[in-house]
A = this chain, B = another copy of it.
Amino acid sequence: MSVADVSPLRLGIAGLGTVGIGVVKIVQAHADLLAVRAGRPVVITAVSARDRSKNRDADLSAYAWETDPVALAVREDVDVLVELIGGHEGAARSAIEAALSAGKDVVTANKALLAHHGQTLAEMAESLGRVIRFEAAVAGGIPVIKTLTEGLAGNRIRRVMGVMNGTCNYILTRMESAGLPYDTVFEEARALGYLEADPTLDVGGIDAGHKLAILAAIAFGTRVSFDDVVLEGIGRVSIDDIRRAGDMGYRIKLLGVAQMTGRGLEQRMMPCLVPAASPLGQLEGGTNMVVLEGDAVGQVVLRGAGAGEGPTASAVMGDVLDLARGLRIPTFGQPAESLAYAQPAAVSAPVAYYIRLELLDKPGALAKVATVLGEAGISISRLRQYGHADHSAPVLIVTHKTTPDAVDFALSAFAATGVVMGDAVAMRIEEV
């Protein structure tokens, strides 16, 4: 074994929030374990955060301190920048670019940065012979980037799906279990610190959309195209829909799907119904699940904690160990310049839909709704009209497979019937 092999791998940790401190704890607690696994010591030489005086749950006294993450990134005694600042511009991006230029490799948990600038950063890293790894950016502790990029590298990937925002899943499962409306649970989640500073990142599906766009790039060998993700958050999911979907044997999840179709790359992140008894349907709270489908392997399903100090730090350390062991592969699993521009495809594959509407108590009302569906070319699989004391009654419809266009047509036409109160709700049913 040469001397180069046993020199320590020296980390500079930029960002000392929950995840940064989690990484520090692992490096400190498992020094021997990491050294024997990596074949060399893994050490932290320097750290960086804005506020040095803040009380943190780890002893940082042995590490050099930089207030400026860019200064940290270019230090002589740092081999790998571990970027845990977050945000798709500003300090995080500057530090990563500085690190690459200074000949350092990068490990990051920054999904927003990769979703917005992944291509540019990957090209920069590869032109400089540097590596960027980002397991922690997608699905927390689940090693999904590694599974997709390496474990399933012999497959043409057909489809990638996932529940990848624990906060949304927490809100949806809590609404159901406590019977509380969205707004109430949203405020609970905020009080518990589960929401990002800008909560639309979570509940608007943006964070999950970033993750989906990154997975799609690796899966299909295409340039990250977050702007093409069809995004819909969970804000319009009502407690009524959660209850009614439950009656029909479904649960509502914020589910992402990316697949390469004959028309181009379809990427969507939206609330969907899934069978309550399915693995996705059973997913509780902050747990994430990712489904990968390859032409040789079939379906592989991964489940684990999607966030939190330990799980996210575990993912960061997996990347660190890979670098310590000398694994050097392109950011998205193939050279950045070989990644294709993907034609975005509209979401048009036919699926079954759940439709909920309030029917006015008039003779022939249900017949009018059925006529609209018939005109839209939608056939009904199951229909349930609920008893009512009021002047309107909830009607639930599970359709046979139909297209989003047909459903849009029906939703518009309902308004003209004069028997449907307010707006009807429609959601896709995904049989995973």
Contact = CB atoms under 8 A, between A and B. Distances in A.
Interface of A: 22, 26, 30, 33-34, 36-39, 135, 141-143, 146-147, 150-156, 221, 277, 279, 282, 294-305, 310-311, 313-318, 320-322, 325-330, 333-335, 338
Contacts of A135: 151
Contacts of A22: 296
B150 A313 contact: no
A277 B282 CA distance: 9
A314 B148 CA distance: 12
Contacts of A300: 141-143, 302-304
Nearest to A303: B301
Contact of A39 (B141, B155, B298, B335): B335
B329 A310 contact: no
B338 A36 contact: yes
A309 to B, nearest CB: 8
A317 to B, nearest CB: 3
B156 A30 contact: yes
B314 A305 contact: no
A26 B314 CA distance: 32
Contacts of A335: 36, 39
A340 B326 CA distance: 25
Contact of A296 (B153, B317, B320, B333): B317
A297 B314 contact: yes
A310 B333 contact: no
Nearest to A324: B153
Contacts of A322: 150, 153
Q: Give the oligomeric copy count.
A: 2
B303 A279 contact: yes
Contact of A333 (B37, B147, B330): B37
A318 B221 CA distance: 17
Nearest to A34: B154
A36 B334 CA distance: 6
A321 B153 contact: yes
Given A303-B300, A325-B329, A146 B154 contact: no
A298 B302 contact: no
A221 B154 contact: no
A150 B154 contact: no
Contacts of A316: 154
A6 to B, nearest CB: 12
Contact of A311 (B142, B143, B296, B320): B296
B26 A154 contact: yes
Nearest to A26: B154
A118 to B, nearest CB: 17
B310 A151 contact: no
Given A143-B147, A151-B146, A318-B150, A156 B297 contact: no
B304 A304 contact: no
A318 B143 contact: no
9 contacts: A37-B153, A39-B334, A135-B151, A146-B150, A279-B303, A298-B304, A301-B304, A302-B303, A325-B327
5 closest Cβ pairs, A-B complex = A154-B317, A143-B151, A297-B314, A141-B297, A153-B321
A326 B325 contact: no
Contacts of A30: 154-156
